[in-house]
Structure 1
Amino acid sequence: MEKIALKAKAAQIRMDLIRMIHTAKTGHTGGSLSNTDILTALYYRVMKIDSNNPKWEDRDRFIASKGHSVESLWCILADLGFFPVEELNTFSQFGTRLIGHPNNKVPGIEMNTGALGHGLAISVGMALAGKRDGKAYRVFCLMGDGEQAEGSVWEAAMAGSHYKLDNLVGIIDRNRLQISGSTEDVMGLEPLEEKWTSFGWNVVSIDGNDIEALVDVFESAPAIPNKPTLIMANTVKGKGVSFAENVAHWHHHVPSGEQLELALAELSAAIEGYKQEGQVR
């Protein structure tokens, strides 16, 4: 998919997830909005996947270690045909497969995740298996920035470097807000890039809501042989919905009917803008 089309697709996914959260009356709105561009770039442009063959042996692997922000992932998997779009209406309802964290009973989900701090360790194991099996697939692991306070993240980071896993790409959704406020107030992380560099990773810092930049860095990884890549994706919590942007309250908040309509209007206008930009180009 062309980069300008990816921008419109990301706006569409944001519309879908806002509707889904409103219908379910629950969900992690802010973090799902912030990570939508990351997932859109991966799923519609970068990763080798096949919705008709979810267990394809040579597929790229994606682990949502930041499992609570699953809403954008559910919407993307449905849009790509991993399961019926209509199933999104069951999100977080009794008996559904689409619970509030990734569930590997759903095609396209590699592992159940959500207990923060263990996704990267799983990804290290998958990447190491790929190396030892002579496979060309890559493993992408999306983490939250609040998650960086978990010690197991750093054990996995050390292992990824030790085993020279250049088929491993870690991504931090660095929106600087968690449920209880600023990450730097809750548990200071800085200098975060230097910490990952000291653990032997190739660190690339980008605007995590810039799809063109995301595509470029994903497609170029690994830039350094024998080193895992860490992408510091600097994002805006609640991205795409003006009244939710950079507001910690929207970490886990459900839009009212009026807020839903405002959000959909903003995102619809964004899609029209991207269409016009594509025509100009």
Structure 2
Amino acid sequence: MTTPTPRTWLITGTSTGLGRLITEQLLARGDRVAATLRKPEQLDELKAQYGKQLWIARLDITDTDALPVTVERAFAELGRIDVIVSNAGYGLFGAAEELSPAQIRHQLDTNVIGSIELIRAVLPHLRTQGGGRILQVSSEGGQIAYPNFSLYHASKWAIEGFVESVAQEVAPFDIGFTLIEPGPTYTNFASGLVRATPMAVYDKTPAGDVRRALAAGNFGLFSDGAKVAQAIIESVDVFPAPKRRVYGSGAWRRIHDAYHERLNALEEQEEVARSTDMEK
């Protein structure tokens, strides 16, 4: 078994969840990690263990002024960075009518604008160094949707569209993109959800069903967080960069079924679609 060539990674949102797991696994195998998070002290234990192998910077991904400065400093101090993991984000939970304008804005500022600005900030550096890989953490929720996660889904579907476009723009510079689409995973995602104040009118609706399932711990957690982190790391060894990687048997099945449903519906519309063409 060959030992992987050490790489340097820049990862956002490394305090908990997949970001933390990926960071720990990379450090353990000898890679360098530039880790950003809002509270750097949460990585004190790892810093004490790994020293200069771990570079840490305070960053709130919604601070679009600080973000490019932090990226610039990381490349200046570390030199080449091989892989960017755009991981920072969270989930907003509640029926659309229950959400406040401030909650909606923060969800999109974090998961969409923050991710977009991170990618825009790293692209000039990756072009200059002759390439690199960007992993954008999305979700099975970038392909399908559940009640009570409308704004979370809006953020993931949005960033997937952005990545699909930008990947085509920068492919000539040997910059590869992969959308990471895990299903429900044993991390602390559920505990990190921001929850809207529930309205009683939704108690006997699908939104109420999902709320009760989540509260009871019956939302169907199928994936092991450490295994998902390992698989994400291994995706970087695949060339060319896979456009998407789905993790979890439940996620695979639900996305698979959704694709079939959409394709069947699309094929039924062919005659109507062609009927609207201009006459030659």
More strand by share: 2
TM-score, with structure 2 as normaliser: 0.39
**Alignment TM-score, normalising by the size of structure 1:** 0.39
Task: Say which structure is richer in helix.
Answer: 2
- Greater relative contact order structure (CA < 8 Å, 6+ sep): 1
Higher-Rg structure is: 2
